[in-house]
């Protein structure tokens, strides 16, 4: 079956400013919020897992691709979301987590990674071979030819996996592909130096696309190439610890003009987190039709959790869960998910651990003691109730909805609703309800 995500390209080439946002998260509250908004908006939902979240070994979530698919579909069925409008993607699929290996070993692992995603029924595959592996020269930029050669290899594996899937599921939707990686690694840039965000040059975009096309066709992958619907570019956006580089369409005008020369390709923009809804809308209008967002949603979840923790502290004092303290203690106990990202004095780093827009604390939500503190806090608030005077102090928007009868005064409902506020901005920008 042809992939319905091709409708994004069709709409764009017809001159309609229609796109889709991609929810890049394995967090249950975030996924629940995306599906609830999709149900209310009568729109499709695209949810993606990155190579480090889910792989053939479980990734940092402990879920293999098939596990993640079941996890998301169970939530969809629980809330009554039409799974025909649910699309799952794999992001940065390649040797990302195997770069300590030599090329052949790393690519064998990447082969299996891609095979697992396609075999599980993921229908949007971002092939990313832009990272160096152990035997690549650290002083030389990887050539487009090397990146494309490795990418074509993975596309061949994906096509073989899809053909195998058809044997047991004749109605399986064939995957579409995204190529290129003009962005920092998943999780955000590392280090203290802000070198600024450089918009992809039109000639670089065209060279990358042409090199990938040649590599695909040289390997007999003409059909796979016909299913390449997007290329990742850097349109000039990136989140920072306390802000973001906003989209400036004047700086991206030449890049966005270049996409009009191609009938079957749109741009995919990563790191669109924290852009205003107006900027997001401009991006879709300019041909950046797929908007990736990850930490922006878990940041809103963290914001809601901290608000609830403050309410709980006001109510229960020493008998509270002390969720914030438990979370910070877990981050200090194991620094691997944030130490390369947060630079500064002890006080500055302590502030970033809690409030940075890169939201590295999202990696610690599954830690047993953090999860337990969260559940204790939620149960405490359910048992004691959330007084309206404290709700209006810490969650004023949700307070108004509770007063209007639009929202239940329940801690988990409040968390999901806070995330939905951010999702609304993406739905405003993409008009994705018009796709299907």
146 phi and psi angles, rounded to 5 deg:
-65, -45
Which stretches does DSSP call E strand in 32-105? 45-50, 86-93
Predicted pLDDT at 182: 65
Residue 194 clears pLDDT 50, i.e. is over it: no
Residue 190 clears pLDDT 50, i.e. is over it: no
What does CATH list as the number for 299-418? 1.10.400.20
Task: Give the pLDDT confidence of 131-167 residue by residue, as tens digits.
Answer: 999 999 999 989 999 999 999 999 999 999 999 999 9
Q: What is the token pair recorded at 93?
A: 């699929």
46 phi and psi angles, rounded to 5 deg:
-110, 120
| Mean per-residue pLDDT, 124-130 | 97
Could you give the CA distance from residue 186 to residue 393 in angstroms, rounded to a whole number? 35
Longest dimension (CA), the chain: 67
Q: Binning pLDDT at 50, 70 and 90, where does residue 424 land? A: very high
Name 105's Cβ contacts closer than 8 Å, sequence gap at least 6: 98
- Computed over every residue of the chain, the mean pLDDT equals 95
What is the model's pTM? Answer: 0.95
Q: Binning pLDDT at 50, 70 and 90, where does residue 195 land? A: low
Using alpha carbons only, give the angle 241, 242, 246 rounded to the nearest 5 degrees: 100
**Which of 200, 99, 92, 218 has the alpha carbon at shortest distance from 156?**
218
Predicted pLDDT at 269: 95
Domain 6-298+423-434 has CATH 3.20.20.70: yes
Q: What is the token pair recorded at 391?
A: 């709700």
For 2, other C-beta atoms within 10 Å of its C-beta total 10
C-alpha 301: how far from chain center: 15
Question: Where do the domains of the chain lie?
Answer: 6-298+423-434, 299-418
Predicted pLDDT at 192: 43
């Amino acid at each position: 079956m042809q992939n319905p995500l091709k409708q994004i390209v069709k709409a764009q080439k017809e001159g309609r400013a229609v796109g889709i946002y991609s929810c890049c998260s394995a967090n249950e509250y975030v996924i629940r919020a995306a599906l609830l908004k999709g149900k209310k908006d009568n729109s499709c939902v695209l949810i993606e897992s990155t190579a480090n979240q889910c792989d053939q070994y479980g990734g940092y979530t402990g879920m293999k691709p098939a596990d993640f698919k079941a996890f998301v579909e169970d939530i969809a069925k629980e809330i009554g979301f039409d799974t025909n409008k649910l699309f799952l993607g794999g992001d940065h699929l390649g040797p990302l987590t195997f770069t300590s290996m030599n090329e052949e070993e790393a690519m064998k692992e990447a082969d299996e990674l891609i095979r697992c995603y396609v075999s599980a029924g993921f229908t949007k595959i971002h092939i990313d071979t832009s990272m160096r592996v152990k035997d690549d020269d650290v002083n030389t930029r990887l050539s487009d030819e090397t990146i494309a050669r490795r990418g074509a290899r993975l596309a061949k594996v994906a096509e073989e996996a899809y053909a195998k899937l058809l044997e047991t599921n004749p109605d399986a939707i064939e995957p579409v592909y995204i190529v290129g990686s003009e962005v920092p690694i998943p999780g955000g840039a590392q280090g203290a130096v802000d070198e600024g965000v450089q918009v992809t040059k039109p000639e670089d975009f065209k060279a990358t696309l042409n090199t990938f096309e040649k590599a695909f066709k040289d390997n007999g992958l003409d059909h796979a190439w016909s299913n390449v619907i997007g290329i990742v570019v850097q349109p000039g956006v990136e989140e920072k610890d306390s802000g973001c580089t906003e989209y400036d369409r004047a700086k991206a005008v030449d890049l966005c003009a270049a996409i009009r020369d191609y009938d079957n390709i749109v741009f995919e923009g990563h790191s669109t987190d924290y852009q205003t809804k107006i900027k997001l809308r401009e991006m879709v209008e300019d041909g950046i039709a797929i908007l990736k967002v990850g930490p922006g949603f878990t940041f809103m979840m963290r914001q809601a959790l901290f608000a609830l923790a403050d309410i709980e502290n006001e109510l229960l004092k020493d008998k509270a869960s002390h969720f914030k303290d438990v979370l910070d203690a877990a981050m200090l106990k194991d620094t691997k998910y944030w130490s390369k990202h947060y630079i500064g004095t002890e006080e500055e780093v302590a502030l970033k651990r809690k409030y940075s827009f890169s939201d590295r604390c999202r990696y610690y939500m599954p830690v047993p003691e953090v999860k337990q503190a969260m559940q204790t806090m939620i149960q405490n608030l359910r048992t004691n109730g959330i007084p309206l005077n404290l709700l209006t102090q810490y969650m004023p928007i949700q307070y108004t909805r509770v007063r209007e009868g639009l929202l239940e005064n329940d801690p988990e409902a409040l968390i999901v609703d806070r995330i939905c506020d951010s999702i609304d901005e993406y739905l405003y920008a993409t008009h994705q309800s018009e796709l299907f």
